[in-house]
Amino acid sequence: MAKAYVLVDTKISDKEKYEIYKAKAKPIAEKFGGKYLTRGGLLEVVQSDLWSPTRLVLVEFPSIEKARAFHNSNEYADVKKIRLDNAKSTLVILEGL
């Protein structure tokens, strides 16, 4: 079964409230087998023809079903609202190898 990844680019508007989101989101992702590979670390954009990322987060899941289950879970719904209220973001679920 192929792994899957949740890739999020985020522009945070309220850093204090976003810290609450981060603290609550991580254990939920881990419950679904998620493993954070990067979370807003150093970002060097070497080409940006289509997109200029701001702050990237990459979470690996054991399958695309687990990634979708995390994102659509009841546990994550209220936490997701914190992200949506305090940041602009693009979120992609993609299948890996």
Asked if residue 91 belongs to a domain, the reply is no
Asked if residue 58 belongs to a domain, the reply is no
| Residue 5 backbone phi and psi in degrees, to 5 | -135, 140
Q: What is the pTM for the complete model shown?
A: 0.94
How far apart, in Å, are the Cα atoms of 29 and each of 21, 33, 46, 52, 59?
12, 7, 29, 26, 8
H helices present in the chain, as ranges: 15-31, 64-72, 74-86
Asked if residue 76 belongs to a domain, the reply is no
Query: What number of residues does the chain have?
Result: 97
Asked if residue 90 belongs to a domain, the reply is no
Asked if residue 92 belongs to a domain, the reply is no
As for how many domains the chain has, the answer is 1
The residue segments making up the domain with residue 27 are 1-41
Residue 1 has a pLDDT of 84
Asked if residue 15 belongs to a domain, the reply is yes
Asked if residue 25 belongs to a domain, the reply is yes
Asked if residue 55 belongs to a domain, the reply is no
Residue burial 1-27, b: 16+ Cβ < 10 Å; e: rest: eebbbbbbbbebeeeeebeebbebbee
- Burial zone of 92 (CB within 10 Å; 0-12 exposed, 13-18 middle, 19+ buried): exposed
Average pLDDT along the chain, 97 residues, taken 10 residues at a time:
96 97 98 97 95 97 98 98 97 95
